[in-house]
Amino acid sequence: MHLHILGICGTFMGSLALLARELGFQVSGSDTDVYPPMSTQLEEAGIALREGYDAANLVPRPDLVIVGNALSRGNLEVEAVLNQGLPYVSGPQWLAEHVLPGRRVIAVAGTHGKTTTASLLAWLLESAGLEPGFLIGGVPRNFGISARLGAADAPFVVEADEYDTAFFDKRSKFVHYRPEIAILGNLEFDHADIFADLAAIERQFHHLVRTVPGRGRLLVADDEPALDRVLAQGCWTPVERLGAAPSSPWRFALERDDASRFRVIHQQAEIDEDAVVDWPLTGTHNARNALAALAAGHVCGVDLARGCAALARFETPRRRQEVRGEVAGIQVIDDFAHHPTAIATTLEGLRAATTRGRLLAVIEPRSNTMRLGTLSDRLAASVAAADQSFWYQPAGLDWSLEPILAAIPEPARLVSDIDALVAALVAEARPLDRIVVMSNGGFGGIHEKLLAALEVAHG
């Protein structure tokens, strides 16, 4: 059976393509944004990629078209699918029908940290010998791929996105997954292109809560008012809270300020147990992500001490605080930042771990929410932990970043050309500095260009 995937280089759709190929389907796909790491892993899997959307991509005629949520009516290939009467389905629905039935599904939801938490959980389950399946919106480096089927009787970890499903199905993706265990890590306003306000997103999260069976488990972060409101709408599943609140049965206590070492405390009805995580990640947000993964792993039978020990061998997913290279003591880090909160928490964690040298932040406001300027009033404060910030004004951003820069007390520069941005960074950087490049896109290949220019200047 031949499947053709529209938007195949998206993190979800590309992962779906890998699962379909593993199931034995013939897979092809098309997209306009073709860049690593997704394009690379698809090519390595032997999946045919066609750049651009056109009716010609549907020749030979596929048996089924899977449509990504980034595509809308008016797209040439979407219109051809409809006019030719080809059978089509959304990615989440295809996953629910062909991969998830009979599996113990664990859904990882939240505005931030889904990819890292899902990667952590998959690694914990793998370290315990459970051979989990997973679909993750990034490439976990412990596995080298973003999706796999895993053992037939093993848990399946899915990154559960609240974004809409497809142009013909405006429900959130995660309502299709029917999880037995759901992690609700955090919740704040995002996706301003499809949600009018936070209450609209809370309703979608409650739709997810409604699908978790009474024999399942909800693992819910404390100190999250929006999640409290979600549960107040109705809950039929046992809830375990996690975070730093004294009343939460799953807690963490920092033993280093940068959260690279922390104690995990689990209080059960009759048993108290704790263990220590000593790992390469930083930031309290990552400690919370780890806590959620450990709690979910524990539900699946993973011993707490064993799980904590496994985290010492965890490697961040691609584009999540990923060190891309170092030249003359100048480190270049890639981070998938899509929201002011994500920028702030990442920089705070790196700041706590940067004892020498400076922290230079490079920001491309590229996500749909950022492009709309909905959260622009929070951007200036998001880089408070950086010594300097460099801002890129991408094409298509129809509002000026200049007022943002004016509100930043630390040195900040605005650049609208990638080469000029690279030149400015090379001129500013000195040994022991850490340059954090933050975007949810390819950013014009800036990482490779920057490392090459640093080699010329300092190598």
Q: What gap in Å lies between CA 18 and CA 40, rounded to an integer?
A: 12
| Nearest by Cα to 160 from 137, 180, 138, 144 | 137
Say whether 112 counts as a known binding-site residue.
yes
How many CA atoms lie less than 13 Å away from 207 in the CB half-sphere?
A: 18
The CA distance from 392 to 373, in Å, is 14
Contact 361, 392 (CB under 8 A): no
Phi-psi region of 25 (alpha: psi -120 to 50; beta: other; left: phi over 0): beta
Output the DSSP codes for 13-29. Answer: HHHHHHHHHHTT-EEEE
Angle 225-232/198-211 helices, nearest 10 degrees?
50
Question: Kind of pairing, strands 250-254 and 239-243?
Answer: parallel
- The answer to whether 111 is annotated as binding is yes
- 401 within 8 A of 393, measured Cβ to Cβ: yes
State whether residue 48 is helix, strand or coil. Answer: strand
Rounded Cα distance, 270 and 248, in Å? 15
The answer to whether 114 is annotated as binding is yes
Torsion of CA 314, 454, 330, 41, to 10 degrees: -10
Can you tell me which residue has the tokens 């990504």?
68
Structure-block tokens of residue 427: 């001129």
Phi and psi torsions of 40, nearest 5°: -65, -45
* 100, containing H or E segment: none
> Amino acid identity of 234?
G
- Least Cα distance to 117 among 271, 269, 262, 311 occurs for 311
Q: Which residue has the tokens 């895993």?
A: 150
HSE (side-chain half, CA atoms, 13 Å) at 232: 8
374 marked as part of a ligand binding site = no
Residues making up the annotated binding site for ATP are 110-116
Residues making up the annotated binding site are 110-116
